[in-house]
Structure 1
């Protein structure tokens, strides 16, 4: 662990250092959005920019790490919300709706979905994002195998869902749909894609 700076309160481990960097990044993203800079985070922590670079190679990587941490923290309430839903259509609609209603509360995820940081940055449909989404679908109470959907099919479904989330983040609509209106829209225009896929596998 690098011990220089930290405003006189040196982290006890690399893990603590990373958590504090990500906390500062969350604050910077809340204030500046995609314009968050390594310098903003370093200043908030009382360290040099190089100290932050020792843990994250650039601002894009730091933004992605902050978004990933937010996503992981979202998994538990999402799983609790979807528990007991065995119908695949309702699971799809509710998972998208619940996530879209949560997104305005999390600036880090909004920035990741709506911004292409650099050519080297993680895309919304990267392997890591798809694996993350796959884990969510696989953890639902839906029997995907009984419906004829295999791992590759779930990966494709995840990619589709990620693209839907990104689209709604970039332009949530005028006015943005919420509650029953959002769920009705998803059930009418998005759910038929999954229904057709399930039918094709029967």
Structure 2
């Protein structure tokens, strides 16, 4: 690690340098907003050259992804705590998605990955970083997915439909909805896609999709008779 710059206090190694660059990016966003923050601003905040930042983060998107991952860790813990009293996995994910939609634009460091460049928003939502963050969320929820018959392939499908729903709301929020109305909408259209399937659905066998949420297996797994 070079000793030049860093306002006279150079980091001890690249890991510390990355942490300080991410922290500087967060401060810049707090002052200027995500849309007006670039690598040059971060470099100036640290008292280093742009080349120093480029060496560790080859592009602004690399830096913003790293910052989003750092900010997401705490946010995921907050969501997991919020649904700790829920019993049905589908209801947990509905609440997590609704909470994310309500909070995303207030979480400046987390939302920067998605709102900084609208032209790239589709690619960003389908990139590895949002998918890994959603898998982390699922792992921290009080759910034993495998015990419910939800294998890794099925979990990946849940991650995809969750992110595609989030993407559609961020791009076009649609008509105004109260918190209760938003949850009711997600419960009606998203929850059936992520509820615990019947045994015949796990193998991908043909059948009437409308029966998947009404069989005895589903009623036992969800703990909500009559659903």
**TM range, normalised to the smaller chain?**
0.7 to 0.9
Alignment partner, residue 164 of structure 1:
165
Q: Deviation string for 1:47-84 (max 9, x for gaps)?
A: 11111112111111111111111112212222222224
Query: Relative contact order, CA 8 A, sep 6+: which one is greater?
Result: 1
2:55 is aligned with 1:54: yes
Alignment of 1:6-17 (within 5 A): 6-17=6-17
SS at structure 1 position matched to 2:125: coil
Does residue 179 (structure 1) correspond to residue 179 (structure 2)? The answer is yes
Query: How far off its partner does 1:46 sit?
Result: 1.3
Contact 2:11–2:17 (8 Å) recurs in 1: yes
| Contact residue 2 and residue 51 of structure 1 kept, 8 A | no
C-alpha root-mean-square deviation of aligned residues, in Å? Answer: 2.6
Unpaired segments ≥5 residues, structure 2: 203-216, 218-227
**1:102 maps to what in 2?**
103
Which of 1 and 2 has greater Rg?
2
Q: Partner of 1:67 in structure 2?
A: 68
Q: How many matched pairs?
A: 199
- Structure 2: how far apart are the matches of 1:10 and 1:173? 48
Tell whether 2:223 aligns with 1:198.
Answer: no
Matched residue, 1:147: 148
TM-score, normalised relative to structure 2 = 0.75
Kept in 1: contact 2:65–2:129 (CA 8 A): no
Q: CA deviation at 1:178?
A: 4.8
Deviations for 1:149-181, whole angstroms, at most 9, x for unmatched residues? 211111111111112222222233443x45222
